[in-house]
Amino acid sequence: MTQEAETRPTRVGFFTDTSICIGCKACEVACKEWNGVPDDGFVFRATSYDNTGQLGADTWRHVAFIEQDDRWLMSSDVCKHCTHAACLDVCPTGALFRTEFDTVVVQADICNGCGYCVPACPYGVIDRRERDGRAWKCTMCYDRQRGGLEPACAKACPTDSIQFGPLDELRERAAARLERLHADGVAEARLYGDSPDDGVGGAGAFFLLLDEPETYGLPPDPVVTTRDLPEMWRWAGGAAVALVGAVAACFLGSRR
Amino acid sequence: MRAGRGGDPAVTVPEAEFRSYYGQPVLKPPVWHEPHMPVYLYLGGLSGASSVVAAAARFSGHDRLAFAARMTAFAGAGLGSGLLVAELGRPERFLNMLRVFKVTSPMSVGSWTLAVHGGLTAAGAASALTGLLPLAGDAAVMASALTGPVMATYTGVLLADTAVPAWHAARREMPFLFAGSALASAGAAGMLTTPRAEAAPARVAAALGAVMETTAAAIIERRLGLEGEPYHQGRAGLLIKASRALTLAGGLLATVAGRSRTLTAMSGLAITAGALCTRFGMLAAGKASALDPKYTVVPQRDRATGRRLVAVPDQEGGPDTP
């Protein structure tokens, strides 16, 4: 309510610079503690030092470990808070909404657990918590932001691999960082999700990666599924007309 | 790190080499349960097409077929609604479906359509059963002939409007597949519940629907490349094969089913079983498609590479050098 008189806040986001991630998982822990996210099982996966595996209803920050021949890659994944968010588009109850910070949040008191957002997300982020029945994901610490605080993961990150701030500023900072890395000979560095021209209109949480996105479990060219929805409704309209026509044909010549 | 090189060697799609995070899925598979979701998809289609049949039968004087189709439309919508509510993670909150109307959400459009269609078919059935307000009952049936086609086709959009590669790639054919299957189902139900002498239009509907469904499935098979692979493999592949055989056999039998009760029963049951196999197969294929990172990564990588070839040259030697 305090913001009613003020102008709309600028869009904020995360810039996760994986080139300085040390894989400490402080972000995972801080997220769980602040948001009261339940246990996701402490499992040794026997693939790497990754215990959580992937983002899900009970894992809102996930640190990926990739052991390559000459190096380790580490990256803290999170909900992308897309400009064109499929989860929000397809939510039938309005439980998913866009906040004043241009982030995407589930209202737990509205969600009826229909599960439609789950296969809609092109990043495989949101999931249904089966023992609770509702869909859950990162809120970018909506409550902390309302109180003027940065999200718990960014606050806890000891190397500033996770940076929080106005999205415009983060994009400038990321471009400068990329230029610096290229100048230093790290030719494989690339930004992921920073462009407003990509298939989701740009992510609110974007990354600097040191390998192809798919190596980190990220889709190489995600597109919001609802981009094709007008076309889909047209095809459905055609099918509906065909159905009526077919039924009419069934009764032609058999009038009693 | 290299994954892939898996799958069935008999498949004609060339094996794709791709990278992934320890072979883990990129996407989350659909959480919908069996039998709730596939049986709802069947019942919703059955109810939708039956309401159109009921209206056409009423107009053309096929009164017994009109009555049977009216009852089928009501039963399908009623049972289907129950399954949808049971499918929710929080069934007690099912009314939240009618909290907003969003054309960007096929589930929202479907919920509102089902609510209206369910009401209309219930009114039509109640009037026919009690003999009260026959004009209002007929009006309800006529109105349900408008909501019915939406019921029978929106489910195609429901599945296609996801990130699941096998579903999204089949977005053009999916509504026709569901419409055809719904028409065949309604025809089968009409055959099974109406005296043979008056069930001729139902038999034609069964045959036409079977043709429509089979054609849409064949186009999906032809047009989709790698994304279509889950329709041929594993449990989904078996279900789709069974569906194809049952639907075709049932559709053929429908053309001669007017001759005996046995043929009618065989045709009607085969088509019904085929329609159910279609729905179970589609859900299984969607889950398999989401769970294998190949179907997410390879088409997107191809797309990204193709675009990069024609993209701005300032990326040369830059971030995209492998």
Give residue for tokens 């509205």. A110
User: Is A70 part of the contact surface with chain B (CB cutoff 8 Å)?
Assistant: no
Assess if residue B318 is contained within a domain.
Answer: no
B316: pLDDT strictly greater than 60: no
Average pLDDT, chain A: 95
What is the residue whose two structure tokens read 């209803």? A57
CB contact under 8 A, B94 and A56: no
Chains A, B: CB pairs < 8 Å = 280
CB-CB under 8 Å, A47 with B22: yes
CB neighbour class for B10 (10 Å; exposed up to 12, middle 13-18, buried from 19): exposed
Mean pLDDT of B158-179: 98
Burial letters for B235-269: b for 16+ Cβ neighbours within 10 Å, e otherwise?
ebbebbebbbebbbbbbebbeebeeeeebbebbbb
Residue B147 has pLDDT above 90, yes or no: yes
d(CA B176, CA A246): 12
Q: Tell me the pLDDT tens digit for each residue of B185-213.
A: 999 999 999 999 999 999 999 999 999 99
- Residue B307 is predicted with a pLDDT of 62
- Annotate A60-76 with b (16+ C-beta within 10 A) or e (fewer): bbbbbbbeeeeeebbbb
CA A241 to chain centre: 38
Q: Which stretches of chain A drop beneath a pLDDT of 70?
A: 1-7, 253-256
Cα torsion angle, B180, B186, B191, B192, sign: positive
Calculate the CA dihedral of residues B259, B262, B266, B268 and round it to 10 degrees: 70
pLDDT at B16: 62
Structural domain boundaries, residue B247: 28-301
CB contact under 8 Å between B89 and A132, yes or no, is yes
Domain ranges for chain A: 12-223, 227-256
Q: What one-character-per-residue DSSP string does B197-250 give?
A: GG-HHHHHHHHHHHHHHHHHHHHHHHH--GGGGGGTSHHHHHHHHHHHHHHHHH
- The fold adopted by the segment(s) A12-223 is Alpha-Beta Plaits (3.30.70)
Instruction: Measure CB to CB from residue A235 to each of B27, B102, B171 and give the nearest one.
Output: B171
Q: Of chain A residues 193-252, which have a CB less than 8 A from chain B?
A: 212, 214-222, 225-226, 228-229, 231-233, 235-244, 246-251
What does the pLDDT look like over A85-133, one tens digit per residue?
999 999 999 999 999 999 999 999 999 999 999 999 999 999 999 999 9
Structure tokens at A9: 């806040």
**Which of B87, B22, B315, B42 is CA-nearest to residue A133?**
B87
Which residues, 6 or more positions from B90, have their beta carbon under 8 angstroms from its beta carbon? Answer: A111, A112, A113, A133, A134
Once rounded to an integer, what is the mean pLDDT over residues B297-309? Answer: 83
Under 8 Å between Cβ of A122 and A88 = no
Is residue B205 in some structural domain? yes
B97 with A236: Cβ contact below 8 A:
no
Give percent above pLDDT 70 in chain B. 90
Number of domains in chain B: 1
DSSP label at residue A184: T
ipTM, two decimals, is 0.94
Shortest Cα–Cα distance, B12 to chain A (Å): 25
Cross-chain Cβ contact A219/B26 below 8 Å: yes
Question: Based on the number of CB atoms within 10 Å of its own CB, is B179 exposed (0-12), middle (13-18) or buried (19 or more)?
Answer: buried
Q: A82, A65, A83: which is closest to A74 by C-alpha?
A: A65
Mean per-residue pLDDT of chain B: 92
The mean-pLDDT minimum among A175-184, B6-15, B66-75, B233-242 falls in: B6-15
Q: What is the CATH number of the domain that holds B195?
A: 1.20.1630.10
Q: Name the 3-class secondary structure at B15.
A: coil
> In sequence order, which residues have a C-beta less than 8 Å from that of residue A56 and are 6 or more positions away?
A40, A127, B28
| Domain-located, residue B14 | no
Q: Show the beta-strand stretches assigned E in B12-166.
A: 17-19
The shortest C-alpha distance from B58 to chain A (Å) reads: 10
Is the pLDDT at B314 greater than 90, yes or no? no
Q: What is the mean pLDDT of residues B48-63?
A: 97
Q: How far apart are CA B241 and CA B134, in angstroms?
A: 44
Q: B236-250, pLDDT tens digit by residue?
A: 999 999 999 999 999
